[in-house]
Structure 1
């Protein structure tokens, strides 16, 4: 539920703070007092609409899915919309987009002024219908769970089989392409690190002649080695350090000559051709490692193509068994639902009669399998499709569906927001709407704007929206103040004794 709402600087409102109870919360007041502005700002506080209020904030008892939105729950979660130069949205002081805030709030709040068809979707209708069946002791709950599990596996197998069948249509081309790619890499037959080794050989070959000439010239130093040793001896200096250095130099020159002489047998053209072949693979695949990994992947694909008939046969057998299981379970669900459908339609029409609406027709047809079975439900109002009925009829039909659903609810259903649901209704029609809302208020917190005494008298909490000069203000009414306000609704600004008497009788009847 929404426990508290705060509004600052929005149109005719300077500031307003309201503390709500659960149940049916009614807003009344003269035309132009700001009732719709207040309702709009409550919606804006949770991202349901946009407004230019400086602050609109709702404190709620809703539990946030922390994993989904990344916001931690507090004892009371605070949804806030701030507007300075631009709008900003927060939950528990953590900034997020309006869309994200609305997604969180939509799990708990519905605004019934819009033609939202979600209450007439198969998921919702079957939840109501199946709850009625289960209440009669039938094991439809376990049947639904078993069907959902079997259908999920059936659907997955069907998709896998389709993929294989699609692959099978082009398997010849796929096999040829895989074999071609494998052969292309195999023809080069690269090894990891080979390209670096060949580039080093190419580098050595390119400088071989120049380096050997330099070594030959430098070898002249050894002709004077004995002279250096003699000079050191005359100086009484040990020549071991010089001898070691000269031996190390000989080893370097000898090693270089040996390495370069070993290149005598290397075919330069073959090296260059090999480097070019390896370069082609690297240009195509990125590196030798990636080329070899791609070859392995294609070999696995080729193996898969060669085994596809075996895999397809196994899937076809599994699909056939699951098809039978899904069919049997779906038919059991259909049987249960068909037996309950007449009673479901009868009770819906009982609500519709109380709401002064024409009778509805509920038809169940077979369709493609979904996780809810093989059935679809279609509702029409006096043979008129839902898309073509008036907004007033649509919303009262939604109330009837919600009332049916609430009969089997064991927890709070969230918040319903209605604008002038009883606008342009007669007294009897308004009372019928009020009675349905009163029943729904056992499971929902309901915010409603009303201009009728019947619905207003049913409220668990009553707020008056009025103007003090040009400023809109709010006031929670006690019993006597409610009598006066309902009397004003009945007789206008000049309140008669008869209107007050009738207002008091309406309120006392609801005690």
Structure 2
């Protein structure tokens, strides 16, 4: 159970701290006072929705099995959420992710809002039925988990097979394109660094004639070499530096002459053509390295295409084997569901009878295989389509499902959070909802927003939410006389009449105030 809730700077709330008792906790107040804002704060602490408060903190007096999430259990356990730029979550001062907070809360917190209408999705209905089955057949839940893993594996292999089959339709085009890409690169057969070498050759060719003419003129220096050495000797100067320079110059000239001889053997037209082809290749692929990488990729693709027939055969065998097992396990799970379908129907109708609703019937039909098997659970409320009943009737059916869900799927001593579950109901119908919730509150702690005096009068703890002149929300527990006046306000409006006060007193007396 939640013992305490602290909120700081959450939308219209500046700061408030509440201490809760067991049983049914009801929040009332004028429209727009902040009741739903308050519930949103509580829900966001457990990972349902975004955190808008600077600080949210709740104390929970219950063993939650935190060790399974790698968190040390304490007594009590303290849940906290802080919001700066991003929300951060803590359990017993240990940081946890929002996902972990949400997964953990699902074992002890259930939420029902008038804006939420997905209770009758097939997956949720089957999960409820599986909970009923597991209460009588402990191995059923393990079978459902095992099937879910099997179906995931089956889906993975099936999608891979479908991908190959789809690819097979355009396989010849893909093969032809891969061969074309490989041939186009092989036709040029580029080598890494070749483009730079070709550019150097091209530059050398363009300057060949000028360099030859300049070298011929500069060659005259060698004719004066002996004269220079003679002068240096007469001057008694060491001429080794001059000899070294001249030898270096001869070496440079010899290398350049070797280059000229190589250039003379080059087909200039072929060289320019090669440069153009390399340039086109680089324009298409980015570089020679990338072109060669693309060639290797296409070679591997071509090998895979050639091998696809074998791969397809192997996948088809695997899919067939898994499909048989999926069908087998689906049938086994469906058999158990059929066996306990009546038990679920019985529990639902037990609550519906208390809520002045006609009995419903449940029907399991067979459909395409999904994650929970091939079953589809249909809910029939007499001859009326669930989508066509009034909002008040719809909420009472949802309450029956919620109560049954909690009986089979929510841990003992869990928390139920309800947002206007008694909206759009007459006094008699509203009282029936209150009675069901009062019964449930013997096992669960229930937080409920209500605009009806019937439910509010059944509360073990009654909080009033209001706004001051500055539009700041406040919440405080009501004492006996305050409760009477608030119930009377709910009956007659802001101008409380004596009749409303009398009716409010009678409600509290009849509900063992």
Q: Same fold (TM over 0.5)?
A: yes
- Distance in 1, matches of 2:208 and 2:242, equals 29
- Distance in 2, matches of 1:480 and 1:172, equals 86
Match of 1:503 in 2: 508
Match of 1:338 in 2: 338
Displacement, 1:422?
5.0
Correspondent of 2:7 among 5, 8, 24: 5
Please give the per-residue CA displacement for 1:304-326, whole angstroms capped at 9, x wherever unaligned.
22222211111121121111111
RMSD of equivalent CA atoms = 3.7
C-alpha distance 112-104 of structure 1, shift in aligned 2 (>3 A): same
Matched, 1:77 2:80: yes
Correspondent of 2:34 among 26, 38, 42: 38
Q: Which runs of 5+ in 2 are unaligned?
A: 65-76, 91-96
Displacement, 1:243?
1.4
Match of 2:365 in 1: 365
Please give the per-residue CA displacement for 1:43-91, whole angstroms capped at 9, x wherever unaligned.
56578999xx9x896445699xxxxxxxxxx9542366xxxxxxx9853
Q: Secondary structure at the match of 1:5?
A: strand
Q: TM-score with structure 2 length normalisation?
A: 0.81
- Distance in 2, matches of 1:240 and 1:223, equals 18
Q: Which runs of 5+ in 1 are unaligned?
A: 64-73, 81-87, 95-99
C-alpha distance 38-174 of structure 1, shift in aligned 2 (>3 A): same
Q: Are 2:182 and 2:299, in contact at CA under 8 Å, matched by a contact in 1?
A: yes
Match of 2:312 in 1: 312
Q: Secondary structure at the match of 1:238?
A: coil
Match of 1:419 in 2: 420
Match of 1:69 in 2: none
Match of 1:262 in 2: 262
Q: Secondary structure at the match of 1:307?
A: helix
Q: Secondary structure at the match of 2:233?
A: helix
Note the 1:47-196 alignment, pairs <5 A.
Answer: 58-60=56-58, 76-78=79-81, 91-92=87-88, 110=111, 112-114=113-115, 116-196=116-196
- Distance in 1, matches of 2:89 and 2:170, equals 56
Displacement, 1:165?
1.4
Match of 2:274 in 1: 274
Displacement, 1:294?
1.5
Displacement, 1:439?
4.8
- Distance in 2, matches of 1:358 and 1:140, equals 31
- Distance in 1, matches of 2:263 and 2:435, equals 102
Match of 1:85 in 2: none
Match of 1:329 in 2: 329
Displacement, 1:392?
1.7
Match of 1:475 in 2: 476
- Distance in 2, matches of 1:49 and 1:134, equals 30
- Distance in 1, matches of 2:503 and 2:177, equals 92
Q: Are 1:486 and 1:503, in contact at CA under 8 Å, matched by a contact in 2?
A: no
Q: Secondary structure at the match of 1:359?
A: coil
- Distance in 1, matches of 2:483 and 2:212, equals 112
C-alpha distance 469-175 of structure 1, shift in aligned 2 (>3 A): closer
Match of 1:449 in 2: 450
Note the 1:372-387 alignment, pairs <5 A.
Answer: 372-387=372-387
C-alpha distance 503-43 of structure 1, shift in aligned 2 (>3 A): closer
- Distance in 2, matches of 1:227 and 1:319, equals 95
Displacement, 1:334?
0.7
Please give the per-residue CA displacement for 1:191-245, whole angstroms capped at 9, x wherever unaligned.
2222221121111111111112212211112222223223332332211122112
Matched residue pairs, number?
473
- Distance in 1, matches of 2:190 and 2:275, equals 10
Match of 1:68 in 2: none
C-alpha distance 36-396 of structure 1, shift in aligned 2 (>3 A): farther
Q: Secondary structure at the match of 1:4?
A: strand
